[in-house]
Structure 1
Amino acid sequence: MFSTNYFTSILLIAFFFYSSNLISQRRVKESAKTEVSAPLKTTPKLIVGIVVDQMRYDYLTRFWNHFGTGGFKRLVNEGFNCKNNHFNYSPTSTGPGHASVYTGTTPSTHGIIGNNWYDKEIDEPVYCASDDSYATVGAISNAGNMSPHRLTVTTITDQLRLHTQMKGKVVAIALKDRGAVLPGGHTANAAYWFLGGGEGKWISSTYYMENLPRWVLDYNSSKVVEKYKKPWNTIEDITSYKESGPDNNNYEGLFTGESTPVFPHDLPGLWDNNSKYDLLKVTPFGNSITTDFVIEALKGEQLGTDSITDFLAISFSSTDYVGHWFGVNSKEIQDTYIRLDRDLERILKYLDTKVGAGEYTVFLTADHGAINVPAYLKDQKIPAGYINRAEIQSELGEFIKYKYGSVGLIKNYSNNQLFLDHKIIQNLDLNPKEVQEALASELLSYQVFERVYTAYQMQNNEYTTGIPYIIQNGYNMKRSGDIFMVPKPGIIDYSKTGSTHGSAQIYDTHTPLIFYGKGIKPGSTALRTEIPDIAPTIATLLGIAFPNGTTGKPIAQILE
């Protein structure tokens, strides 16, 4: 006879297996529902990539109360704001910045190690976008002798072109040539940049086209840029600009012909002595000129008007020019961002009408940040200062002469890197590693430097955090130098007026990153994101291949 307990146990076991089977079936069904409801890809009609040159993250918060509802606030309130976004490499400058945003990787992989750098193979300095194989389109000048040939990997714009069998259009626009050429990638339909001086018009390169399209010719001939040849005064009452320093101070540059750096700046009166149309670049009017041309491009190229996704890459360059000239704490920089907010609103409103609200996706970021003027910081009793490059070169030269009996060991000093002459090192029967270490040790003894690294360290160690991680991500084996100098925080190699950038310090790496529009989940995060994450995030959104050098990761929390 079986006991009651025996039958009870059998029933319990049967019930357990039955319940487990029901749960398993429900999970399978729920999983199937999830797979069906989760979109394989998002298909906006247009991706708009916006890079604001030299934009620190805190400009968003600092000038917030002066922004309208349709520009920065619209992007932040209705989009996804990455509050802790950083460049994960140095040098933090325009060429590497734009390349990293669009390739999803760092200079160690994409090869754009600076705006300019010493090319070890040809033994001369090179510019990141220059290419004498091509000629200027739209002017008699060498300003259009440009191409992306020094970019060694694909961009997100290239991948869109490849994915759509070259049917998706890519157009890139910036005042600066490098701000258009590098985002456009290798396969852009067009890239346009602004020729200043006495010209005041948009040009391109034979890399993209033989002749300017009719809409560009019409725009240039209209002379619409002439309306910006006017005095630059603040767009709001200057007394309300409480988020910036005094208008008249010793930390700002002067236009030729000015005695004080104050509003209003008489652009017509300053015109001839300040390179004419180039003067507009150093004002917020340069961003407005860019906005005007962007809207004409949307019309002329019919971007975002069919079911195949197009890509419009925009870079606002005047923010960088103004920051360099007047500094990050100036009334001029505040006015520039208040005006840029209105230009962003113009673009978004036009996109709503032309492409359709909810039918496009935008990301906005920067190519680097910037430091507050060290002279100002010093006056506030904050540690800061300037590098005397001539003094360093003299002292280092004396050290080399004393130690090695030669003065020709250094071939180039740029981007806080030293390039050594390896032929001389070999002829002197010296060990390259030991020479690097000796010079690094000497440089570390100089007061302006916080750290010094060697190429040997970059090649043989794997850094995962901190400054060495940032330096290593900027180190390219074939293109970078032998010794890397990291100035102390607050110390720069620049003039005593205006702000600059380029370092591995946080004021140069912390920049905004906002996603907005179709396929983007509204919200924000304080988790760290990095610039190379942008391209794979957009690729994941579109369901296309990552750029072929990608080292970043998709930011999963922003995607619906």
Structure 2
Amino acid sequence: MKVIINLLFVFLIVTSCTAQNQVSKEKNKEFQYDNNNPKLVVGIVVDQMRYDYLTRFDSKYGDGGFKRMIKEGFNCKNNHFNYIPTYTGPGHTSVYTGTTPKYHGIIGNNWYDKEIKEMVYCAQDDSVQSVGTTNDAGKMSPKRMKTTTFGDENRLFTQMKGKTIGISLKDRGAILPAGHTANAAYWFHGMDEGAWITSTYYMEELPKWVLDFNASGVAESYLKVWDTYYDISTYTESGNDENLFEGGFKGKEKATFPYDLAKLKDDNRGFDILKATAYGNSLTTDFAIEAIKNEQLGEDNITDLLTVSFSATDYVGHNFGVSSKEIEDTYIRLDKDLERFFEFLDAQVGKVNYTVFLTADHGAIEVPAYLQSMKVPSGYLNNTETRTRFTDYLNAKFKSSDLIENISNDQIFLNRRYIDSIGLNINDVQESMVNELIGYKHVEKVFSAHTMTTTDFTTGIESLLQNGYNQKRSGDIILVADPAYISYGKTGSTHGSGLNYDTHVPLLFFGKGINHGETYDKTVIPDIAPTISALLGISFPNAATGQPLGFVIDKND
């Protein structure tokens, strides 16, 4: 009897173990998605990168960065933004949502909120708290973005098993690409701290690896002399080092190499000075590598996403301009950072296991003062003169200037309640203002909200304005300046228009599932998210208007 009981006990144990193994296998099977998908997708946005930086500095690039992407991947040579305004917040959002501000709602970096009657910031969220600092720099989230990203869709598709992490020196460059469901977004807080931070939207405290990185002294190690990577005499693709068109740093008389960052930091917001040098991108690369290692990104068959925005290029461009030695050196050094980043991915994730795309959030204009010296039509808008003339018109036409609530981002927001209270028709007021403003110096075009919402534009600047016009958030009047005329200082570059210098940016795909080749066919920024979604076999972002670029995807991989 005892033998029978023992045999029965053994049978039950074996049966139970077999059942558990079967359940385990079924569980694993449940989360084993298409093994042919990349284990890791890396989205790279280079802030303020014009397309011609790929070609102009080509002879200075090595074989492992930009050139590797072009040689082994696919180069879309005629890639453009298809909306206005071309700013950082809208740019990063459009790359990852596959649509334009008309739908995703990020109409600028800052904009006038018509409901609360004040300016708001695209990533601002006072309902969350800073993590990693006591400064308010961490009170950020993606709540103002109205749509999903392809990272969100990948998270939903994998039942939240695939990770998403966003990294950038800028909060908006980390938060908006990562989406609403991201595991984490980290950005760099300079000043006297020099630390990577986040918000309680994602977590209550920083992971140990982030704390260790912040305590490691890596950021401080870049407070050193910034000199050219190669002999400055070989930098023939840029202008003279000393010129009239660059800003430079406080505490240094001339905007010329070299720059002793340790000595200059106290006059330039401490660690924030790193953001405006090539070393800001190196610091971002260091942190991205640590994120991949410590978050185990790309270590299983469920696709993870890392979004990386290299922001230093934008700060350098704004400060020194498109044709500066500083911008050339920044891209030479970025190319080196990309090379070591790809080599790390090869070793850590596996050369055949990851996919990368690289693009920009906007381009940049040549410094208008420089263009003027070359006899190219260009210049600077006199906003004070325009406002004075416009106020005089309001008082003469409507006996009041109270019709205006706000003027920002080349838009005029009307006080609709006041206009209604004095018995005026809003469409008539808009049309009158359009007819007035079109006569102003260096105003190329003017459109009303009524026109934007009742006319279907399919080509030209008008179409780009419409793609950037969000009926709920945009203004009543939209102004377009003459080409190469900007509201900015006399040194450094800026952006925001629908002209080619702001819209034409790189688009490179590289890695698993990507064809080798190039095209001059026009592609647009909202095509990126549907292309990656198609590659992964997941739902497109919920408001995507772009189309998947089928010629990019290698259907045999």
| TM-score, length-scaled by structure 1 | 0.92
1:273, CA displacement in angstroms?
Answer: 0.8
Q: Which residue of 1 aligns with 2:322?
A: 328
Q: Which residue of 2 aligns with 1:508?
A: 502
Q: Which residue of 2 aligns with 1:482?
A: 476
Tell me whether 1:187 sits opposite 2:202 in the alignment.
no
Q: Which residue of 2 aligns with 1:530?
A: 524
The amino acid that maps onto 1:245 is G
Give deviations 1:180-239, integer Å, cap 9, x for gaps: 000110000000000000000100000000111111011111111111111110011101
Give deviations 1:404-426, integer Å, cap 9, x for gaps: 10011111111111111111211
Q: Which residue of 1 aligns with 2:456?
A: 462
1:154, CA displacement in angstroms?
Answer: 0.4
Q: Which residue of 2 aligns with 1:400?
A: 394
Q: Which residue of 2 aligns with 1:557?
A: 551
Q: Distance in 2 between matches of 1:202 and 1:459?
A: 42
Tell me whether 1:105 sits opposite 2:99 in the alignment.
yes
Q: Which residue of 1 aligns with 2:4?
A: none
Give the counterpart of 1:230 among 204, 210, 224: 224
Q: Which residue of 1 aligns with 2:150?
A: 156
CA RMSD of aligned residues (A): 1.0
1:42, CA displacement in angstroms?
Answer: 4.6
- Provide closer, same or farther for how the CA distance between residues 449 and 42 of structure 1 changes in structure 2, counting only shifts above 3 A: farther
For the 8 Å contact 2:35–2:301, the answer to whether it is kept is no
Percent identical residues: 60
1:100, CA displacement in angstroms?
Answer: 0.3
Q: Which residue of 1 aligns with 2:82?
A: 88
Q: Distance in 2 between matches of 1:178 and 1:355?
A: 27
Give deviations 1:112-170, integer Å, cap 9, x for gaps: 00000000011000000010110011111111100100000100000000000000000
For the 8 Å contact 1:536–1:553, the answer to whether it is kept is yes
Tell me whether 1:196 sits opposite 2:194 in the alignment.
no
Q: Distance in 2 between matches of 1:55 and 1:299?
A: 28
- Provide closer, same or farther for how the CA distance between residues 201 and 353 of structure 1 changes in structure 2, counting only shifts above 3 A: same
Q: Distance in 2 between matches of 1:504 and 1:410?
A: 26
1:519, CA displacement in angstroms?
Answer: 0.5
1:271 aligned counterpart, secondary structure:
helix
For the 8 Å contact 1:41–1:543, the answer to whether it is kept is no
Q: Distance in 1 between matches of 2:402 and 2:72?
A: 58
1:529 aligned counterpart, secondary structure:
strand
Q: Which residue of 2 aligns with 1:59?
A: 53
Give deviations 1:55-110, integer Å, cap 9, x for gaps: 00000000000000000000011110000000000110000000000000000000
The amino acid that maps onto 2:113 is D
Give deviations 1:327-382, integer Å, cap 9, x for gaps: 01100000000000000001100000000001100000000000000000001000
Tell me whether 1:424 sits opposite 2:433 in the alignment.
no
Q: Which residue of 2 aligns with 1:216?
A: 210
1:143 aligned counterpart, secondary structure:
helix
Q: Distance in 1 between matches of 2:83 and 2:246?
A: 28
1:225 aligned counterpart, secondary structure:
helix
Q: Distance in 1 between matches of 2:536 and 2:261?
A: 45
The amino acid that maps onto 1:530 is V
- Name segments (4+ residues, structure 1) moved above 3 Å: 39-42
Tell me whether 1:243 sits opposite 2:247 in the alignment.
no
Q: Which residue of 1 aligns with 2:279?
A: 285
Pairs aligned (count): 522
Give deviations 1:244-293, integer Å, cap 9, x for gaps: 01000010002111111100012122111111100010000000000000
Give the counterpart of 1:276 among 270, 276, 281: 270
For the 8 Å contact 1:386–1:493, the answer to whether it is kept is yes
Deviation larger for 124-133 or 446-455: 446-455
Tell me whether 1:471 sits opposite 2:465 in the alignment.
yes
For the 8 Å contact 1:326–1:333, the answer to whether it is kept is yes
Q: Distance in 2 between matches of 1:42 and 1:106?
A: 31
Tell me whether 1:364 sits opposite 2:358 in the alignment.
yes
1:469 aligned counterpart, secondary structure:
helix
Give the counterpart of 2:428 among 426, 430, 434: 434
- Provide closer, same or farther for how the CA distance between residues 368 and 379 of structure 1 changes in structure 2, counting only shifts above 3 A: same
Alignment of 1:8-47 (within 5 A): 42-47=36-41
1:41, CA displacement in angstroms?
Answer: 9.0
- Provide closer, same or farther for how the CA distance between residues 503 and 198 of structure 1 changes in structure 2, counting only shifts above 3 A: same
For the 8 Å contact 2:41–2:303, the answer to whether it is kept is yes
The amino acid that maps onto 1:548 is N
Tell me whether 1:75 sits opposite 2:69 in the alignment.
yes
Q: Distance in 1 between matches of 2:551 and 2:146?
A: 30
The amino acid that maps onto 1:148 is P
For the 8 Å contact 2:362–2:495, the answer to whether it is kept is yes
Give the counterpart of 2:172 among 169, 178, 190: 178
Q: Distance in 2 between matches of 1:517 and 1:190?
A: 24
The amino acid that maps onto 1:99 is T
Q: Distance in 1 between matches of 2:141 and 2:263?
A: 36
Q: Distance in 2 between matches of 1:41 and 1:558?
A: 20
Q: Distance in 1 between matches of 2:221 and 2:374?
A: 40
Give the counterpart of 1:138 among 128, 132, 137: 132
For the 8 Å contact 1:486–1:504, the answer to whether it is kept is no
The amino acid that maps onto 2:47 is D
Tell me whether 1:379 sits opposite 2:373 in the alignment.
yes
Q: Distance in 1 between matches of 2:438 and 2:353?
A: 54
The amino acid that maps onto 2:521 is L
| TM-score, length-scaled by structure 2 | 0.93
1:121 aligned counterpart, secondary structure:
coil
Q: Which residue of 2 aligns with 1:6?
A: none
Q: Which residue of 2 aligns with 1:24?
A: none
For the 8 Å contact 1:41–1:540, the answer to whether it is kept is no
Give deviations 1:440-488, integer Å, cap 9, x for gaps: 1111111211111111111001111110000000000100001111111
Q: Which residue of 1 aligns with 2:347?
A: 353
For the 8 Å contact 2:86–2:502, the answer to whether it is kept is yes
2:226 aligned counterpart, secondary structure:
coil
Tell me whether 1:305 sits opposite 2:299 in the alignment.
yes
2:137 aligned counterpart, secondary structure:
coil
Q: Which residue of 1 aligns with 2:514?
A: 520
Tell me whether 1:115 sits opposite 2:109 in the alignment.
yes
Alignment of 1:260-275 (within 5 A): 260-275=254-269
1:175, CA displacement in angstroms?
Answer: 0.2
Q: Distance in 2 between matches of 1:347 and 1:169?
A: 19
The amino acid that maps onto 2:545 is T
